[in-house]
């Protein structure tokens, strides 16, 4: 998890530095949009093949080579002359987008083999904590790194973070390397023609899981709205310091997220239980409502509390969602995580396009309100469905008299 946190720092540093570098190199916002589209599209396609790949290779080997590939593709940006870096940029977008998705699917699907079924919620919580800290550090330091030492140094740092993560994966003791073949359903590794049926069969194996994955996609669409609207809202609040609100909001969000992880870990240790599917629905409701309120123009103190609540609810949804998918057997689990990654990339990508177009005509509050309002409504449907499933579940029979 420490290696994953380090590589996550590189990913968030990379996200800022590469977007700025694309814009500076090409001088066109359209090129930056194309770069992001390629990255999301590569992640979308990688999600489709992730289940089949993990049925043929160990999760450990997939995680290892995903990091090696992401580090290797940074070399042309570091070594090539400045005028010849444009072509390499788009290779980076494809490799980073696809390998990042493959790494996450392999990591999440192999957690039960790493730590045991009973500790998966703890491991997921630890993972989210590391990523939250890395996100704040990556976003906060990106401007300093680029302005003080330049893009090449930022790319070297990024390569180094992938090397650290690859080393930790190589040292990781995973029984069987996290091989998913043993738990696969018949035909799970039958090749590309069977990928989608197996993925959908995996989500259908647990009541409400397909609806849960769909909610995750709608939630990703909502996430695209606040990610795109926050810089616009921040610039409107303080044109002289346009990054101030964004930075403060994400720092407070991360604090709330980390506090939530501590609560989840203590809850798991005390009760021996994991956060259930209902936690994902309730967390999505609270998170969506909080992100809408963040744009409502409340005083700074109230907005700070809202950011903390949004981070805590986001952390709850992440752990409960991941832990619930990990209840599937090993083979179908990898396909379910691959399908989930595809749905998330699709929701976020479509959302970014729609939100960017909408922000030219309406304010951030309305755009975020409609996007997260859709997630909130979908979450209510999911909670009703979950409650109905629990109500129909037969009660345990009383022991017969001797």
C-alpha closest to that of 151 among 78, 220, 102? 78
Q: What is the pTM of this model?
A: 0.78
pLDDT digit string (tens) for 199-220? 556 555 555 678 888 999 999 9
Give, in order, the Cα–Cα distances in Å from 249 to each of 138, 226, 255, 265, 393.
15, 11, 10, 25, 42
- Is the model more confident about 213 or about 397? 213
Q: Give per-residue pLDDT as tens, 82-125.
A: 667 777 888 888 999 999 999 999 998 888 888 888 888 888 88
Instruction: Give tens-digit pLDDT for 321-361.
Output: 888 888 888 778 888 888 888 899 888 888 888 887 888 78
Mean pLDDT of 374-386: 90
Question: Would you state the structure tokens that stand for residue 295, as one six-digit string?
Answer: 């744009």
Q: How far is CA 240 from CA 20, 234, 243, in A?
A: 20, 10, 9
Whole-number pLDDT of residue 199: 57
Q: Exposure of 360 by Cβ count < 10 A (0-12 exposed, 13-18 middle, 19+ buried)?
A: exposed
Structure tokens at 267: 């809850």
* Contact between 376 and 87 (Cβ < 8 Å): no
The span from the first CA to the last CA of the chain, in angstroms, equals 52
Tell me how far apart the alpha carbons of residues 330 and 77 are, in angstroms, rounded to a whole number: 38
Predicted confidence at residue 389, as pLDDT, reads: 64
Mean pLDDT of 224-234: 84
| CA 101/CA 45 separation, integer angstroms | 9
Enumerate residues 6+ apart whose C-beta is below 8 A from 368.
222, 225, 226, 229, 291, 292, 294, 295
Q: With bands split at pLDDT 50, 70 and 90, how would you rate the model's confidence at 294?
A: very high
Domains of the chain: 1-180 (1.20.1250.20), 190-391 (1.20.1250.20)
Confidence category of residue 20, pLDDT binned at 50, 70, 90: confident
CB 185 within 8 A of CB 331: yes
Any residues with CB less than 8 A from the CB of 292 and at least 6 apart, and which?
A: 365, 368, 369, 372, 373
Residues near 131 by beta carbon (within 8 Å), at least 6 away in sequence: 4, 5, 8
Q: How many CA atoms lie within 13 A of 75 on its CB side?
A: 6
Sequence-distant (≥ 6) Cβ neighbours of residue 185 within 8 angstroms: 198, 201, 202, 329, 331, 332
Q: Give CA–CA dist 119/56, Å, rounded.
A: 26
Helix (H), strand (E), coil (C) string for the chain? CHHHHHHHHHHHHHHHHHHHHHHHHHCCHHHHHHHHHHHHHHHHHHHHHHHHHHHHCCHHHHHHHHHHHHHHCCHHHHHCCHHHCHHHHHHHHHHHHHHHHHHHHHHHHHHHHHHCHHHHHHHHHHHHHHHHHHHHHHHHHHHHHHHHHHHHHHHHHHHHHHHHHHHHHHHCCCHHHCCCCCCCCCCCCCCHHHHHHHHHHHHHCCCCHHHHHHHHHHHHHHHHHHHHHHHHHHHHHCCCCCCHHHHHHHHHHHHHHHHHHHHHHHHHHHHCCCCCHHHHHHHHHHHHHHHHHCCCCCCHHHHHHHHHHHHHHHHHHHHHHHHHHCCCCHHHHHHHHHHHHHHHHHHHHHHHHHHHHHCCCCCHHHHHHHHHHHHHHHHHHHHHHHHHHHHHCCCCCCCCCC
Q: Can you tell me which residue has the tokens 């990898």?
A: 334
Q: 224 near 355, Cβ under 8 Å?
A: yes
What are residue 359's phi and psi, to 5 degrees?
Answer: -65, -15
For residue 102, what pLDDT is reported? 93
């Amino acid at each position: 998890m420490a290696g994953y946190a380090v590589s996550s720092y590189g990913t968030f540093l990379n996200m800022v530095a590469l977007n700025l570098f694309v814009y500076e190199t090409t001088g066109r916002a359209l090129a930056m949009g194309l770069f992001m589209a390629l990255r999301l599209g590569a992640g979308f396609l990688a999600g489709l093949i992730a289940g089949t790949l993990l049925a043929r290779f160990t999760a450990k080997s997939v995680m290892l080579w995903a990091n090696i590939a992401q580090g290797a593709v940074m070399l042309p940006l570091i070594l090539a002359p400045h005028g010849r870096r444009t072509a390499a940029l788009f290779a980076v977008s494809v490799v980073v987008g696809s390998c990042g998705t493959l790494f996450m699917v392999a990591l999440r699907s192999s957690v039960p083999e790493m730590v045991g079924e009973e500790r998966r919620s703890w491991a997921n919580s630890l993972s989210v904590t590391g990523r939250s800290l890395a996100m704040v550090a990556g976003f906060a330091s990106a401007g300093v790194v680029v302005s003080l030492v330049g893009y090449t140094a930022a790319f070297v740092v990024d390569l180094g973070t992938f090397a650290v993560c690859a080393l930790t994966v190589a040292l990781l003791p995973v029984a069987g390397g996290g091989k998913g073949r043993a738990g696969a359903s018949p035909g799970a590794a039958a090749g590309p023609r069977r990928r989608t049926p197996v993925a959908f069969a995996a989500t259908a194996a647990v009541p409400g899981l397909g609806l849960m994955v769909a909610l995750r996609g709608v939630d990703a669409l909502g996430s695209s709205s606040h990610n795109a609207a926050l810089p616009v809202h921040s610039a409107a609040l303080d044109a002289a310091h346009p990054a101030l609100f964004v930075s403060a909001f994400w720092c407070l969000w991360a604090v709330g997220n980390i506090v939530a992880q501590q609560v989840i870990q203590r809850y798991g240790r005390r009760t021996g239980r994991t956060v259930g599917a209902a936690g994902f629905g309730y967390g999505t409701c609270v998170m969506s409502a909080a992100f809408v309120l963040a744009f409502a123009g409340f005083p700074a103190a109230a907005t700070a509390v809202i950011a903390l609540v949004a981070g805590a609810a986001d952390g709850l949804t992440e752990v409960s969602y991941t832990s619930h998918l990990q209840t599937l057997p090993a083979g179908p689990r990898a396909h379910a995580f691959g399908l989930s990654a595809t749905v998330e990339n699709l929701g976020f990508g479509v959302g970014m396009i729609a939100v960017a177009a909408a922000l030219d005509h309406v304010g951030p509050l309305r755009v975020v309100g409609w996007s997260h309002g859709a997630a909130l409504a979908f979450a209510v449907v999911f909670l009703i469905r979950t409650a109905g499933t629990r109500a129909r579940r037969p009660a345990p029979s009383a022991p017969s008299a001797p």
